[in-house]
Structure 1
Amino acid sequence: MFQNKTKFVEKQINMLYTNCHTYYSLRYGTLKPEELVQLAVAHGIQKFALTDINNTSACLDVIRLSAEHNIQPVVGVDFRNGAQQQFIMLAKNNQGFEDINSYLSTFLHDETLSIPSRAKYIPDSFVIYPYEVGKEYLLRENEFLGIKAAELNKLKFSTWKDKLGKLVVLQTVSFQNKKGFNTHRLLRAIDNNTLLSKLPVEEQAKETDCFITPEHLKEEFSEFPQLLKNTESLLEACAVSFDFSEKTPKNQRAFTESEAEDMKLLKDLVKKGIPYRYGNTPDRSILKRVAKEIEIIKQKGFVSYFLINWRILEYARSKGYFYVGRGSGANSIVAYILRITDVDPVELDLYFERFINLYRKNPPDFDIDFSWADRDDITEFIFKTFKNTALLTVYNTFKFRASVRELGKVFGLPKAEIDMLTTGKFDVQQLDKLSLLVVKYSTYIEGFPNYLGIHAGGILISEKPIHQYCATFLPPKGFSTTQIDMVVAEDIGLYKFDILSQRGLGKIKDTVELVKQNHPEAPAIDIHDMKRFKQDERIKYLLRNAKAIGCFYVESPAMRMLLKKLQVDNYLGLVAASSVIRPGVAKSGMMREYILRYRYPERRQDGHPVLLDIMPETYGVMVYQEDVIKVAHYFGGLTLGEADMLRRGMSGKFRSRDEFQKVKQQFFDNCLANDKPYELTAEIWRQIESFAGYAFAKGHSASYAVESYQSLFLKAYYPLEYMVATINNGGGFYSTELYVHEARMHGGTIEAPCINTSEFQTIIKGTSIYLGFGFLHALEKTTIAKILYARNKDGAFIDLDDFIDRVSVSVDQLSILIKINAFRFTGTPKREMLWEARLKTTKVTVQEEVITLFKPKSMAYEYPDLKSTELENAFDQIELLGFPLCNPFLLVEKPRQSMLKASELPKYIDTVVTIEGYLVTTKNTRTSKGKNMQFGTFVDYDGSFIDTVHFPPVAAQYPFRGRGVYSITGKVIEEFDCMTIEVISMYRKATIEDPRYADASVKMKA
């Protein structure tokens, strides 16, 4: 078949590897893609076949890496059922690669399908079957038998010795050496969830499936030179290529029938949209900027990208879905006019060219946030509307602690020993042999891909079929998902659309509905009326005083303190704060400097004159991604093309790539050439590097601030409705308990679930908030559904007998409702009702409600006095809700010893005080020396916040011990009007004995 295609020269045969695996042969292979390429380089291998098991994740990356060394890998798939190899398919060309990906995807989309022993005929492919003695093979023209070195002796006595033209070398490479083989066996044991000692032989590779040098391989097959020739010819006949240099967008090229029609549609939409944003007579500068943007969008080929985003959001608006458009695309006035974003780039002085310019290869980022309840419908719309669509995968990797747990089980270690190893707190010298192996190999496999997951929101909409680039699988959500991640996709020019979800938008949407229900007289809320919000005095008050619990992005302890330090009360200040809080600014040490310059104008001239000139708005401090690019361009002399590379590097995705290091070197070279002091250059580059992975574009921060303002408006005018919506949408930074507390602080009356009033979720009636049945631990959804059905059908329940007659539930489920006092309207004590329930119902529900003509008369029982106390109610609430509805300070054993309030701390600056606080949340972090330290957030008796700092010695000696009231002794520190306590000592106060069991314990003692 291969005659006249390749001249065989024995000394140059270095194309013999037809079955190479990387660690994307999940929980099987152990070689990183770059390690496989380096092996080829080191041994002069011109071609090798990358055939991961049921996976093509590594193909594009290996092709890209190989091109740098003039190696052209062959790509394909090792088709297996579990560890059982069925056949190998190699792509002759790009069409063959697409067809192989499509074929593999049929099995990955349907778990009921197993891979057959005979491959489907794919014209542009080769198939290699593993040779089995005695098995009959009827081979097509493109099919071959793969012979391993260990099978050569058997081949001599086989009929195939006379048909050598259909035989090729099958040297599987799953690992490099003995350590790789050991790692492979451990991965197989993890995959099979078994002890290493019990791992079946058929579930693991042979030790010979390792890398063997070409010279050794040629020697092994020296008696069968024809197989070497066949193998070389087979690989030589394969060539799959992709262009990684241009990275021109491979996204859907035209939204309409043609790019010309796209351009016309874009201009029409912009013309219609301008009055909505800028009125009927917009300033000439607006029209000039619009025209300039459209021209650049056209030149870069991003017209369809804008139109696709517009269409998705037009659909969202038609469904009444709330959304927020953010990302670097917020710098675009066209995006603002198309209502992709709600950020006015003119108002914020956002430069479009910084993010879309002639040097930029990829489109701007549009991160579109939807409510968590709406995103699946949006995703389904995208899949139905656009042809070549897929979700992006993420490679979920082995983390050290998880690896320790998995390998600990594989080696059969006791749970206590595994727990100890996961903490990392051990003396290596004291570990036994098995524990040492667990630590050693956990470190080794850390970062290996474990399984393929789904990207948080990335969707590809490609011009060509997705299978041209990789295979796809079908996760539980039911949407086709790529086997390549976003980095690999961008390498080839596929840029994602980000369709994200968050709870904040659900809170906003639900609050608007709750206000309509609870305040029908109130005017309709226009949640997009940002001009009004920016001038609102109530919002300014909340910002200045950091009273933003529940509000998007501004409620965390760190943000609350930053707002107070900055005394922010305007939109632009909040935009800056949204970026200042990011780790990059804090890590660089510039957060404090920004606060100083923001609060004290005389400090604003402290910065370097060049930096002050570049960034006057932020007082010479790098705050936004744009600032970093400006400094790189104006201070470091980088071109816009190099600055764009730096921008990509700041995403954290490409920092290990050579191009990022080249930009760094160019920055230093330019500064040296321009006589800038090395110390200053190094310091500024340190600040730039600290932004990597964390930098916010100004437009991105502005988008966050829009949603913050929307939630602040609702909190300012409708705090109870907003807290109810927050509770129903899973809270936010804090636990449900704090949002219940916040509602109470705003005048709400908190009611436990009630049989005649409550719904599945929390509801509000006037100022009374009834917690939902869904918040009761262990109350089944079927029980809730029965209650609501019966109540909606026949009205409110009269008493317990009426409930038992109409709702068929077990006594255990009924007990939950009684213990939470859901029948309190009857006036019957809970204990009495519990006895009554047990007498009138069975342990298990035996039948559903039976309709009878006459209601049977229930028996009357006499009970002793069984009254419940409020303390018993509180402990029932803790058991069933997770927290009490009373003040938690009432549940401590000893009364308050310190009456100091959080509001009084300013009187005691630099003084050691003792104060009592109920723990809200904690944050663990590390010092620059790697030691553990903590921050705490508490509320005092009156509900005001107390913030604490626990330096390493204190954190080690006085650890947090879970929920409860703590006595805190420490020094009061003031910084920029923020009060914190540097803790000296701390202990949790004892809780009173559970009164529900007090009688029983007394009797036991007696």
Structure 2
Amino acid sequence: MYLNVHSQYSLRYGTMSIPTLVEEAFARGVTQMVLTDINNSTGIMEFMRECLDKGIKPIAGMEYRRDKQLLFIGIARNKEGMKELNDFRTEYNLEQKALPHVAPTFVNAFVVYPYGHRHPLKENEYLGIRYDQLNRLFNADLSDIKDKLVALQPVFIADKIDYRLHEYLRGIDLNVVLTEVDPEDKCAKTDMFLPPGQLEAKFARYGFILDNTRNLMNCCVMDYPKGRVNLNRRTFTGNKKNDRELLEKLANSGMEYRYGKSNKEAIRRVKHELKVIYELDFCAYFLITWDIIRYSSSQGYYHVGRGSGANSIVAYCLKITDVDPIELDLYFERFLNAQRTSPPDFDIDYSWDEREDVQDYIFKRYGSQHTALLGTMSTFKDRSIIREIGKVMGLPKSEIDSFTDQTQAAVNQNNETFRKIVAIHERMANMPNQRSIHAGGILITEDPITYYTALDLPPKGMATVQWDMYEAEKIGFDKYDILSQRGIGHIKMAVRLVEENQQRKIDIHQVKNFMKDPSVNANLRIGNTKGCFYIESPAMIQLNRKLKCDSYLVLVAASSIIRPGVASSGMMGTFIKYHNAPETVSYLHPVMKEILKETYGVMVYQEDVIKVCIHFAGMDGTDADILRRGMSGKYRSKKEFDRLVQRFHELAIKAGRPEEVVKEVWRQVSSFAGYSFSKAHSASFAVESYQSLYLKTYYPREFMVAVLNNYGGFYDRALYVQELQRSGGIVHLPCVNNSDTIVNIQGVDVYLGLVGIHGLNEHFIQLIPEERKAHGVYQSLEDLIKRTGIGLEQAIILIRVGALRFTGKSKKELLWAVHLLLGAKVKPSNDAELFQVESRNYSLPVLVNTRLEDAYHELELLGFPLSMTMFDLLQTDYRGDIYAADLINHVGESVRMVGEYVCEKTVVTKRNEKMWFGNFLDADGNSFDTVHFPNNTPAYPFRGKGCYLILGKVVAEFGFASLEVMKFAKLPILPNPVIS
């Protein structure tokens, strides 16, 4: 009898999750109900699953609201009716129109208006009346509406406590304090499931209303398929036989391209893979992915194919990936096995500025009714919940800040207000807060997607489903991941810059040659990799130096063991130890030696875990696939692993494995939950790393310019500028006559771009170089003003950053002049002058800028000084007892070093204490690492950018030296002469 039920997906309004909602209904004897979340159908499919499990008849619907006003409720008679409701909501979402007061004519859906609706009712339309409105029917003539009245008992909350939570949600949504949430902004205190029989009792005098309600609901049947079915586009060509023939043709042609005509192992593997692909009905998935690659390649776009699909030789032959599964001995069962129900993952990376065009192609190629971006659901995060609740309670900002300050945790425990916030937080935590967009998932469906969801139009500008990847998979949809990353942009631009600046063409896809290049591998070994994809972070540099990594295969392993699962379990340290001394390898069990000899008995990849579960414990492929899902994070936790603990132990013991060995093997397996790569995934990363490193090795200046122009990587821009200088680049400050919008390079001269100047308006960032290219260089400050129309404030920014130094005048002279020019209201003009009139010259005293003043201007406007180094700015000339290059010669000694801050990383120890890892540059520009243990570090040691005096003990591990910090302080710099 409940036509108007809401879940948490009525965002910041409903309080119950779908399972809780269904449990509440079941407990009160409800036999059928309609889920009508506000302006969305996010929870419909989950609702149907949960209801069917409890023996409740689910009915799908949607409540349409505009602002605070309930317009009407749509109730689907069947699957087609749900599509009508979704289509209606989608139209208004995508066209960004306000909903109308009157519903359209639905063929397969009912409409329920709130009592008081004045428009004539159509055949499928009803009036919903609440029990507290029944007095309005007293002595009324009901002849015209008797058959149209239905019982309306909205459900938003579970009980009185939930109502208070609802009020806080409304306050958060409206951004007001609790007392300012008006009655019309929230639900009624009675908007919940009533005890059995109570709703019928309230309508007892109007039995016909109950009959109308039952009849309406009895007409509704959600004729969706039961369980998970394949809802993806089923064919590429329109015919499965043609799909099979096309895939076989493409695979065989690609095999000849990759391996030649007579590679027996390649022929065998392609034939075997194609058989499994046919049997599992994944032909269309491969062909659609191939089609996407074909299009992007025709546009000259670079891509990197990774994910478990990169284990596939068919994918390699279709040029979806560039990872050779024969060379790397990739484990086929990680990619596909007979028990697998969903296709393998293909993560296709593009440059950040090319992905959107690829997405646009997919939408146009496969149709707007069958294509949508995958959504995601953001939840209330811990810190944000505390802040939001505090604001709703009307607390001052200082008090809210104290509640989120970890250092005051002990004090807060005794604070009554804080305990109240925690109680609210516990009920609100993990509730959905807002819908957003998945990082790169796209769905391509067989049937119109609005059978299953309405579509949103987020700022991205492409239609997006209203549920996330987890729900998509349960319903029956598998995503195509079209992702973007800066690293590909670095590579693409660097290749172009080398061709323009050095007139050399590079085939960046000749990766196998790069892997054999001794100079490239030497840089990898010593950690000269800043700017290079995936291998530039201090942690990765440190790992590669410890491994003495100088080959592709070792880098593939390194790309995976850096992941948290391997690192936190202690297996990273074991791998490094055995790699440096393979003669000392000790295997847990002979089977482990047999299947993990390549990685010294250490589980490094997802495939290794699957091998262990199958060959060591005797589990089957179905269990292995569950493990695969858990390791890829698709269940958000170690939940799926935990379900298999008992089975793993039972089967392993049954196979005769020693109990203690079984426990240790499972400990290592369980550490991988959500944190490991497949070997092919790591191999794809390593291919891109080699492309970047080749460019950095032989064309470092062009490469670093590309890094800067694609907005960097792991580090701040300042470090990449220093790398440019170390590579022989002469880096110049921005200049209106030499700089472009972005960084440019001519020979060894590099001019910083106008886009990097803080405070400079986007209009002038574009206009200044465009005007110069169209009409020649600027002759003077006055010429710049006339041709660009730049105002006083923006002109001052350019002067202070040094962008008008071509005039030969000091900044102070230019500042004087610009005030005189613009103060006299010189009218700017973009028209060419017939005669060039010289501006007046004024006799001024000598106005000189110091290097220190310039450095402060650059700090303010660029974020880093170029005229001086951070060391030059120090008040002291002291640069430390030793430098980074000499660190290894002082192991065990306590030394003092001076370092320029680069970055830091915070980790939480097993004792739940914080410790830090730092990275610094010495005065020579060489890098060194620091470790800050909790017992030696005050509350938080880092004080932002600058130089630090560091006292620490030199330690070394596998030939890599670092500093264990004992004392630590930021050094003062020379005062700003303008201020002082």
* Coarse TM-score class (shorter-chain normalised): over 0.9
Residues in 2 aligned to 1:876 and 1:655: alpha-carbon distance in whole angstroms: 47
* Maintained 8 Å contact 1:911/1:971: yes
Match of residue 298, structure 2, among 318, 322, 341: 318
* Maintained 8 Å contact 1:396/1:452: yes
Q: Which residue of 2 aligns with 1:736?
A: 717
Q: Which blocks of at least 5 consecutive residues in structure 2 are unaligned? A: none
User: Where do 1:581-980 residues align within 5 Å?
Assistant: 581-654=562-635, 661-842=642-823, 847-885=828-866, 886-896=868-878, 898-957=880-939, 959-980=941-962
* Maintained 8 Å contact 2:871/2:923: yes
Q: In the alignment, residue 985 of structure 1 is paired with which amino acid? A: K
Q: Which residue of 1 aligns with 2:129?
A: 147
Q: How much does 1:380 deviate?
A: 0.6
Q: Which residue of 2 aligns with 1:47?
A: 32
Q: Which residue of 2 aligns with 1:1003?
A: none
Q: Secondary structure at the match of 1:67?
A: helix
**Structure-2-length-normalised TM-score:** 0.97
* Maintained 8 Å contact 2:236/2:284: yes
Q: Which residue of 1 aligns with 2:539?
A: 558
Match of residue 297, structure 1, among 256, 277, 294: 277
Residues in 1 aligned to 2:881 and 2:790: alpha-carbon distance in whole angstroms: 48
Q: In the alignment, residue 144 of structure 1 is paired with which amino acid? A: Y
Q: In the alignment, residue 174 of structure 1 is paired with which amino acid? A: F
* Maintained 8 Å contact 1:912/1:969: yes
Q: How much does 1:793 deviate?
A: 2.1
**Structure-1-length-normalised TM-score:** 0.94
Change (3 A) 1:797 1:175: same
* Maintained 8 Å contact 2:637/2:673: no
Residues in 1 aligned to 2:153 and 2:16: alpha-carbon distance in whole angstroms: 15
* Maintained 8 Å contact 1:932/1:955: no
Q: How much does 1:136 deviate?
A: 3.9
Structure 1 position 509 matched with structure 2 position 489:
no
Residues in 2 aligned to 1:63 and 1:188: alpha-carbon distance in whole angstroms: 27
Residues in 1 aligned to 2:637 and 2:737: alpha-carbon distance in whole angstroms: 61
* Maintained 8 Å contact 1:809/1:845: no
Residues in 1 aligned to 2:546 and 2:442: alpha-carbon distance in whole angstroms: 40
User: Where do 1:336-485 residues align within 5 Å?
Assistant: 336-387=316-367, 388-424=370-406, 425-427=408-410, 434-485=417-468
Change (3 A) 1:957 1:663: closer
Q: In the alignment, residue 932 of structure 2 is paired with which amino acid? A: H
Q: How much does 1:96 deviate?
A: 1.1
Q: In the alignment, residue 611 of structure 1 is paired with which amino acid? A: M
Q: How much does 1:231 deviate?
A: 2.7
* Maintained 8 Å contact 1:811/1:843: no
Q: Secondary structure at the match of 2:374?
A: strand
Q: In the alignment, residue 5 of structure 2 is paired with which amino acid? A: C
Residues in 2 aligned to 1:290 and 1:958: alpha-carbon distance in whole angstroms: 56
Match of residue 23, structure 2, among 3, 17, 38: 38
Q: In the alignment, residue 201 of structure 1 is paired with which amino acid? A: P
Match of residue 60, structure 2, among 62, 72, 75: 75
Q: In the alignment, residue 687 of structure 2 is paired with which amino acid? A: V
Change (3 A) 1:689 1:830: same
User: Where do 1:486-525 residues align within 5 Å?
Assistant: 486-520=469-503, 522=504, 524-525=505-506
Residues in 2 aligned to 1:804 and 1:783: alpha-carbon distance in whole angstroms: 11
Q: Which residue of 2 aligns with 1:1001?
A: none
Q: Which blocks of at least 5 consecutive residues in structure 1 are unaligned? A: 1-15, 999-1006
- For structure 1, which segment, 701-710 or 205-214, has the greater mean C-alpha deviation from structure 2 after superposition? 205-214
Residues in 1 aligned to 2:56 and 2:568: alpha-carbon distance in whole angstroms: 42
Give per-residue Cα distances to partners, 1:223-262, cap 9 Å, x unaligned: 33333343333323222144453x3432111111311111
Change (3 A) 1:657 1:735: closer
Q: How much does 1:932 deviate?
A: 1.4
Count of residues paired in the alignment: 976
Q: Which residue of 2 aligns with 1:159?
A: 141
Residues in 2 aligned to 1:664 and 1:161: alpha-carbon distance in whole angstroms: 66
Q: In the alignment, residue 29 of structure 2 is paired with which amino acid? A: G
Change (3 A) 1:423 1:895: same
Q: How much does 1:933 deviate?
A: 1.2
Residues in 2 aligned to 1:230 and 1:679: alpha-carbon distance in whole angstroms: 67
* Maintained 8 Å contact 2:951/2:966: yes
Change (3 A) 1:546 1:27: same
Give per-residue Cα distances to partners, 1:717-748, cap 9 Å, x unaligned: 10111000001101001110111111111122
Residues in 2 aligned to 1:226 and 1:691: alpha-carbon distance in whole angstroms: 60
Q: How much does 1:358 deviate?
A: 1.7
Q: How much does 1:185 deviate?
A: 1.4
Residues in 2 aligned to 1:845 and 1:466: alpha-carbon distance in whole angstroms: 60
Q: In the alignment, residue 108 of structure 1 is paired with which amino acid? A: N
* Maintained 8 Å contact 2:25/2:193: no
Residues in 2 aligned to 1:111 and 1:309: alpha-carbon distance in whole angstroms: 32
Residues in 2 aligned to 1:943 and 1:656: alpha-carbon distance in whole angstroms: 42
Q: Secondary structure at the match of 2:793?
A: helix
Q: How much does 1:658 deviate?
A: 7.8
Q: Which residue of 2 aligns with 1:193?
A: 175
Q: Secondary structure at the match of 1:708?
A: helix
Q: How much does 1:162 deviate?
A: 8.5
Residues in 1 aligned to 2:766 and 2:79: alpha-carbon distance in whole angstroms: 55
Q: Secondary structure at the match of 1:595?
A: helix
* Maintained 8 Å contact 1:242/1:492: no
Q: How much does 1:697 deviate?
A: 0.7
Q: Which residue of 2 aligns with 1:101?
A: 86
* Maintained 8 Å contact 2:486/2:710: yes
Q: How much does 1:312 deviate?
A: 0.9
Q: In the alignment, residue 224 of structure 1 is paired with which amino acid? A: Y
Q: Secondary structure at the match of 1:891?
A: coil
Residues in 2 aligned to 1:766 and 1:221: alpha-carbon distance in whole angstroms: 86
Q: How much does 1:431 deviate?
A: 6.4
Give per-residue Cα distances to partners, 1:100-120, cap 9 Å, x unaligned: 111111222233322x33222
Q: Secondary structure at the match of 2:96?
A: coil
Residues in 2 aligned to 1:656 and 1:554: alpha-carbon distance in whole angstroms: 27
Residues in 2 aligned to 1:466 and 1:597: alpha-carbon distance in whole angstroms: 52
Q: In the alignment, residue 386 of structure 2 is paired with which amino acid? A: V
Q: Secondary structure at the match of 1:960?
A: coil
Structure 1 position 985 matched with structure 2 position 971:
no
Structure 1 position 526 matched with structure 2 position 504:
no
Q: In the alignment, residue 66 of structure 1 is paired with which amino acid? A: C
Q: Which residue of 2 aligns with 1:123?
A: 107
Q: How much does 1:677 deviate?
A: 3.8
Structure 1 position 21 matched with structure 2 position 2:
no
Q: Secondary structure at the match of 1:890?
A: coil
Give per-residue Cα distances to partners, 1:623-672, cap 9 Å, x unaligned: 11111111111222211012112211222222679866543332222224
Residues in 1 aligned to 2:573 and 2:153: alpha-carbon distance in whole angstroms: 60
Q: How much does 1:365 deviate?
A: 0.4
Q: Secondary structure at the match of 2:204?
A: coil
Q: In the alignment, residue 190 of structure 2 is paired with which amino acid? A: T
Change (3 A) 1:560 1:393: same
Q: In the alignment, residue 494 of structure 2 is paired with which amino acid? A: T
Structure 1 position 572 matched with structure 2 position 553:
yes
Residues in 2 aligned to 1:956 and 1:785: alpha-carbon distance in whole angstroms: 47
Q: How much does 1:439 deviate?
A: 3.5
Aligned identity (percent) is 44
Structure 1 position 282 matched with structure 2 position 262:
yes
Change (3 A) 1:869 1:657: closer
* Maintained 8 Å contact 2:904/2:917: yes
